Amino acid sequence: MTRTLSPKAPHAPELGLLARLLGPLRVTGVFWYRFHGFGVRACPGWLVAPLMALFSGFFFITLGRIRRALAANSMAVQGPCSWPRAQLRAFRTIHQFAWCLTERYEALCTGTKMKFRMVGEDHWRRALDSGDGFILATAHVGNWEIGAAESPEQARRRTHLVREEESDPRAQEFIRRLISERFGDQFVTHFATTDIGLGLRLRAFLTEGDIVALQADRPRTGGTTVTTSLFGRPFKIPRGLLALARTSGVLILPAFTLRTGRRSYEVRFSAPIRVTASGSRLESDAHAGRFLALAIEDVIQRYPHQWFCFHRLWPELSR
């Protein structure tokens, strides 16, 4: 397990020349964010499922790099397979992603309530009942945003959602405004940037007893990482999350929100992780990072088509 610098966000989709030329019309541009938000307001309920299939097929065909990345990454989880089966895996993942996005916008734009079933609820309640701040560590699996925002128990605490910066600043502002309008001051959105003061502010929030929700599987560009393993292959965990837990003296509670049906989710909590402050910091971070990777691996294994990693993690796997 080693400490390295992350040259780029490893799960983010690669943007080619055409995507850059399209500007707001590219897949990560503000046009699609607004279009999706408009769609959940205007579309009749009976039309949602056919549109999900239609747009999933459209993006499956047009987003070749993402399609190939999903097919390749699936080999690590589900094993080798034929080319047609790999394409089916990729389509199923894109289709699940479309549903998760749609239900995110339903929750944020229309206030639609989702149904939640908790697994490992004792871990969650003990963290809340302690009165101490803690870190909710999740990953790009399932619908992490509505899991952080919709849980009624979090009404007791202020929660800080730390999101990646969007490639389109207008898309970033669109999401920030939606969350602010829906939840007010109860949920505060922060964007992971090169601002070194963010870590200090998050530490202060934790000291005050707040909850900080962070993603544990996508290191910030240029950020330091701890290399552990996922499905027997090298995998990088952002060291900033581990350092924040260590210096704040708080627990990391792995939490994942997995889609089980229409507007239905399973919120799965794993055993909390403590990053010890004694001994070698690197060894302590690596030890905690390994347990965090195991929690991520477990939910990916259970819900392989809800692992939304749009960049090929391991070049040796190809389809």
Task: Tell me the DSSP string of 129-160.
Answer: HT-S-EEEEE-SBB-HHHHHHH-GGGGGS-EE
* Residue range 22-74, pLDDT digits in tens: 555 667 678 888 888 999 999 999 999 999 999 999 999 999 999 999 999 99
Lowest average pLDDT, out of 97-101, 160-164, 214-218, goes to: 160-164
pLDDT at 23 (0 to 100): 57
Binned at pLDDT 50, 70 and 90, residue 207 comes out as: very high
pLDDT at 315 (0 to 100): 87
Binned at pLDDT 50, 70 and 90, residue 86 comes out as: very high
When pLDDT is averaged across residues 234-253 and rounded to a whole number, the result is 94
Q: Write b or e for each residue in 68-83: b if 16 or more Cβ atoms lie within 10 A of its Cβ, otherwise e.
A: bbbbbbbbbbbeeeee
CA gap 295, 113 in Å, rounded: 27
Q: In the chain, which ranges are E strands?
A: 3-5, 115-119, 134-138, 159-164, 187-192, 211-215, 224-230, 233-238, 251-261, 264-269, 273-274
Average pLDDT of the residues of the chain: 87
Binned at pLDDT 50, 70 and 90, residue 182 comes out as: confident
Task: Kindly tell me if the per-residue pLDDT of 84 is higher than 60.
Answer: yes
Task: Kindly tell me if the per-residue pLDDT of 9 is higher than 80.
Answer: no
* Residue range 261-303, pLDDT digits in tens: 999 999 999 999 999 877 788 889 999 999 999 999 999 999 9
pLDDT at 25 (0 to 100): 63
* Residue range 106-164, pLDDT digits in tens: 998 988 889 999 999 999 999 999 989 999 999 999 998 787 666 545 657 888 988 87
